[in-house]
Amino acid sequence: MPLETVFLDAGGVLVYPNWTRICAALEGYGVRVGPLDLAAAEPFAKRRLDAAGTIGATNDAGRGWLYFNLVLEAAGVRRSEATDAALADLRAFHMANNLWEHVPAGIPDVLAAIAGLGVRLVVVSNANGTLRAHFRRLGLDRHFMCILDSHEEGFEKPDPRLFATALAKSGADPASTIHVGDLYEVDVVGARAAGLRGVLLDEQGLYEDADCPRVRSLHELQQQIGAGAFD
């Protein structure tokens, strides 16, 4: 069956943390680290986070701040009262504005290209209730037929009910839909539980043994869709 709909995670797929803002908050408490250092450390920290035991024992909000501590550790920054204070300030900013505010160059063009292949796009993301307004502010909302924020829906991935809600709201057929995310235990496992095919965005090639399709970028995803890889 031809691919008709692509569900996409938000954070780590379409939008990324503003590492410059994060470094500025840390520097306000005397902790110096560069944005490029944090960006380079992030995939390895995320890979450590992406374990069945961790995902099963935490919710999305709890994982978010564990994630930042793992990023700091991977970048060689020890946890301290100063890092905790900076992360508390960043948490407050995130709850009001959303800290995942960096859109990599080329993302809008890739989304337009995928839509140009006749594929419908839907965001299915664990978020904090700010995602819809955040995407409007970033100019990304126009690319999607609907945006599902777990806080608004009452379920968060890997709970298959969030995917089921996305299917119902978008009118998508699970047999002709894929979900693309950056966490295996959240995105691939959750999608499969809802009867969807999961595709893992593995930018650094850290999931060589994963039992699912992997892409290194959304551009590669676009190429594979164009080649009929998911039909």
Alpha carbon distance 165, 212 (integer Å) = 23
Q: How many helices (H) and strands (E) does the chain have?
A: 11, 6
Alpha carbon distance 4, 2 (integer Å) = 6
pLDDT the model gives residue 4: 98
Instruction: Tell me the pLDDT band of 164, cut-offs 50, 70 and 90.
Output: very high
pTM (predicted TM-score)? 0.96
| Mean per-residue pLDDT of the chain | 97
**For the chain, what are the domain ranges?**
5-14+102-226, 19-97
CATH number (3.40.50.150, 3.60.110.10, 3.40.50.1000, 3.40.47.10) of 5-14+102-226 reads 3.40.50.1000
For 45-57, what is each residue's pLDDT tens digit? 999 999 999 999 9
pLDDT the model gives residue 172: 98
Centroid of chain to Cα 82: 27
For 182-192, what is each residue's pLDDT tens digit? 999 999 999 99
In eight-state DSSP terms, residue 226 is H
pLDDT at 1 over 90: no
In eight-state DSSP terms, residue 10 is S
User: Span 35-42, mean pLDDT?
Assistant: 98
SS3 of residue 15 by DSSP: strand
User: Span 75-82, mean pLDDT?
Assistant: 97
User: Span 8-29, mean pLDDT?
Assistant: 98
Q: Which residues of 105-115 are buried (b: 16+ CB within 10 A; e: fewer)?
A: eebbebbebbb
pLDDT at 64 over 90: no
